[in-house]
Structure 1
Amino acid sequence: MTDARVPILMYHAVATDPNEATRALSVTPKAFAEQMAVLADRGRTPLTTAGLAACWRSGRPLPDRPVLVTFDDGYEGVHRHALPALAEHGFPATLFVTTGWLRGPYDTGGGLDTMLDWDQVRALASAGVEIGGHSHSHPQLDQVSEATLRFELIHCKEIISDQLGSVPASFAYPYGYSDRRVRQAVRETGYAQALAVGNGLAHRAQGPYALRRVTVRRDTGIDQFERMVEGRAIARTFAGDRALTKGYAVVRRARRAVRTLAGSGG
């Protein structure tokens, strides 16, 4: 099964009453619990990001019907609401933290809603949740200078290592954006694998630094969730998202070209 296509689910906030900034990408605690029950009922075997990458890197077979449950940013509801549902089924997961958004000594005030503190992150790690990096301040990494890029990656890694006593192995790109320069910097920082978005199933040929994920949102119904996990109708479900992403990518490339010319005096 080294050539298997694996659903990597991307969550953000898990909250009953999220604020407007996180509402679209949040799920209710009830919906999250139902989704985890679906994975259990369908015989899915959750892995951490590091676990999946290790299998593909070594050529070891994957477990039967693998799936990944991942969270971005570091919202407090991951500890309050998601962890009990994961624990009920004995599921591991991966949490990618934006270190400058978490409550504590490194807080820059940029968090979009109530964020985890480091005691809660350590509790999640102790419960079997892999903690990965998601930058320090959540910029579009492919749009920043080389110095800022290196700072975002290294500072994030150092803070996680200091707080947890272990070096993070996995990374997720803020907004899903990366390019060759960003992926190379992530690799050189010491992360062994990284996740994008892409809204498609992950497979080994994508390479360890561009694995795709599927977005789970507040309006993702249980029938749609089941289809996404099985890899059915993903292209149709996210057709609008892909059109917008392609259009925005053109705009972002143009903006970056203008900044590069301005910086070079051209």
Structure 2
Amino acid sequence: MNGPVPILMYHAVGHRPAKAAYGLSVSPEAFGEQMELLAERGFTPLTTAQLAGAWRSSGALPPRPVLITFDDGYEGVHRHALPVLAQHGFASTLFVSTGWLRGRHDVGGALDTMLDWDQVRELAAAGTEIGGHTHSHPQMDQLSGEQVWFETLRCRQIIADELGAEPVSFAYPYGYSSRSVRRTVREAGFAQALAVGNALAVRRQGPYALERVTVRRSTGAEEFERLVEGRGIARNFAGDRALTKGYALVRRVTSAGRKVTRSRV
């Protein structure tokens, strides 16, 4: 019940994704093989809301739980991932940046072809949980309090208007958050939120800082198997963690400088 759970973080799924989205994409063939492995090994995919709800209530989890999550809202999730998920009867969670999706809310800035709202509704109807990922995909821990509120509430309002149901799960763009950001996400009405961390999720992380593991274009079959089995994750992402620690220091200094500047204005 309280054991570690792999939360897989995907982005684009496509044959020829745009250069800016390529590294964090997977090919349709690789995605199909990865889902086949989950099925063969007896994993049970859950939505983000299902996992957090079970942990919050101390409820029982099914055998070998796993989460399949997609960030941003790339069109290939509907074109390539949805048929594979439907084939296996797998649940998933899609976190959308509402200002990146095609349609009347589009503010530009997307890295590749994005979903439109009809496709998002089809994903939701097929059992995919639709969560929030801000409106314009900013680095939330570098924003003012008012900007964080706007990005969070605007995203939640648009999803509720388009789908007829308020989203309950959230994912931080780039995985970046802070105590104040997490508080705002909670106060805005989201019941749980995902970071990155490149580690397995455990209950003690709390409902607003659950960690995920990144699936990339370069993730081979053997590496994927190790990720979902929880083996060698620290070694696989050693370089990422070193960069993250260094960048975190830069970000703290930058954020502090901005706060000082705002206080002088």
Coarse TM-score class (shorter-chain normalised): over 0.9
Query: Matched residue of 2:231: which SS?
Result: coil
**CA distance in 1: counterparts of 2:161 and 2:25, whole angstroms:** 29
**CA distance in 2: counterparts of 1:16 and 1:199, whole angstroms:** 25
**CA distance in 2: counterparts of 1:163 and 1:265, whole angstroms:** 41
Match of 1:70 in 2: 69
Matches within 5 A, 1:184-199: 184-199=183-198
Match of 2:156 in 1: 157
Q: Which AA in structure 1 matches 2:228? A: V
CA deviation after TM superposition for structure 1 residue 110, in Å: 1.3
**CA distance in 1: counterparts of 2:39 and 2:249, whole angstroms:** 41
CA deviation after TM superposition for structure 1 residue 228, in Å: 0.3
CA deviation after TM superposition for structure 1 residue 264, in Å: 1.4
Q: Deviations over 1:93-151 (max 9, x none)?
A: 00000000000000011111000000000000000000000000000111001111000
**CA distance in 2: counterparts of 1:265 and 1:116, whole angstroms:** 42
Query: TM-score scaled to structure 1, two decimals?
Result: 0.99
Query: TM-score scaled to structure 2, two decimals?
Result: 0.99
Q: Which AA in structure 2 matches 1:89? A: H
CA deviation after TM superposition for structure 1 residue 258, in Å: 1.1
Query: Matched residue of 1:53: which SS?
Result: helix
Match of 2:30 in 1: 31
**CA distance in 1: counterparts of 2:27 and 2:254, whole angstroms:** 37
CA deviation after TM superposition for structure 1 residue 203, in Å: 0.7
> Percent identity of the aligned residues?
68
Greater than 3 Å deviation, 4+ residue runs:
none
Matches within 5 A, 1:205-244: 205-244=204-243
Match of 1:22 in 2: 21
The CA RMSD measured in Å over matched residues stands at 0.7
**CA distance in 1: counterparts of 2:247 and 2:42, whole angstroms:** 38
**CA distance in 1: counterparts of 2:218 and 2:57, whole angstroms:** 38
Match of 1:127 in 2: 126
CA deviation after TM superposition for structure 1 residue 263, in Å: 1.4
**CA distance in 2: counterparts of 1:48 and 1:255, whole angstroms:** 35
Q: Which AA in structure 2 matches 1:88? A: Q
Q: Deviations over 1:221-251 (max 9, x none)?
A: 0010000000000000000000001101111
Q: Which AA in structure 2 matches 1:30? A: E
Query: Matched residue of 2:152: which SS?
Result: helix
Query: Matched residue of 2:20: which SS?
Result: coil
**CA distance in 2: counterparts of 1:53 and 1:260, whole angstroms:** 33
Match of 2:168 in 1: 169
Match of 1:48 in 2: 47
Match of 1:113 in 2: 112
**CA distance in 1: counterparts of 2:173 and 2:186, whole angstroms:** 16
Match of 1:84 in 2: 83
CA deviation after TM superposition for structure 1 residue 33, in Å: 0.3
**CA distance in 2: counterparts of 1:245 and 1:87, whole angstroms:** 35
CA deviation after TM superposition for structure 1 residue 156, in Å: 0.2
**CA distance in 1: counterparts of 2:225 and 2:7, whole angstroms:** 13
Q: Note the residue ranges of structure 1 that are not aligned, 5 or more in a row.
A: none
**CA distance in 2: counterparts of 1:124 and 1:110, whole angstroms:** 23
Q: Which AA in structure 2 matches 1:39? A: L
**CA distance in 1: counterparts of 2:261 and 2:90, whole angstroms:** 50
Match of 1:11 in 2: 10
Q: Deviations over 1:20-58 (max 9, x none)?
A: 100000000000000000000000000000000010011
Match of 1:245 in 2: 244
How many residues end up aligned between the 2 structures? 265
**CA distance in 2: counterparts of 1:163 and 1:37, whole angstroms:** 32
**CA distance in 1: counterparts of 2:76 and 2:261, whole angstroms:** 43
